Structure 1
Amino acid sequence: MPKKNTNARYRTEAFERQNGRCIYCDAQMWLGGALAQRAFGEAHGIRPRAARAFKATAEHLVPRQNGGRTDRDNIAAACRLCNMRRHRRKWQLTPEQFRAHVQRRLAAGRWR
């Protein structure tokens, strides 16, 4: 089982590689603890509780339950909302299919 700090390191690397934007919805994300959450909320005019949806998470492109590994090539940064919604689906979509789904929903004003 990978160490927690390895997950955090890969998430941070992906966050920086993606310029702090979600791989699926392209929303700006935040990284860090409660102070970063509060600062993000203030900067974007939302309450800290609403800012939780924009927290950067380590997204396994190939889920661990399907044999995906915790390594740089399989970790991307996704906002908490997109990560949760992707993995709660009844039918799993590839990262590319899920990104297309999210983009269609965003264009229709039906994602956030």
Structure 2
Amino acid sequence: MPSKNTLKELRRQAAQKQAWLCFYCQLPMWDAGPTEFLAQYAISPALAKRFQCTAEHLEAKSDGGKDVQINIVAACIFCNATRHKAKYPLNATKHAAVVRLRMAKGKWHPPQVMAALAKRRMAPV
């Protein structure tokens, strides 16, 4: 089993490849700490927590997915957790479609957060 440092590196590689945008909602994420993120977007620490970068397995580990680059994308903690909290979790592709549909309707993240984060895309902080 790969070490936590390996998964951390896979997460960072995926986030860099995705320009630090969540695989699902396409909004910016933070990695090392939320301080600069909070300052840039002027949202509360509780709301900023939603956008912490996590490693997301496209094929869940419980379904045999591995900690390898092709199976790891970067997702905000809210999108990642929401996928896995469902009674019958969708696969990553279907979850992305649901998230993007709800985003288009303004019904995924709170409206003030979506407005603040959509104004300007950024590199990780």
CA contact (8 A) 1:41 1:50 kept: no
1:4 equivalent in alignment to 2:4: yes
TM-score (norm 1): 0.93
1:80 to 77, 82, 85: 77
Runs of at least 5 residues in structure 2 that lack an aligned partner in the other structure: 110-125
Deviations 1:23-78 (A, max 9, x none): 0000000111xxx3021011011122221100110001101011000010100000
* Larger RCO, structure (CA 8 Å, separation 6 or more): 2
Map 1:14-93; keep pairs closer than 5 Å. 14-32=14-32, 36-93=33-90
Matched residue count: 109
TM-score (norm 2): 0.84
CA contact (8 A) 1:31 1:55 kept: yes
1:100 equivalent in alignment to 2:110: no
Who is 2:13 aligned against? 13
Q: Provide the identity percentage.
A: 39
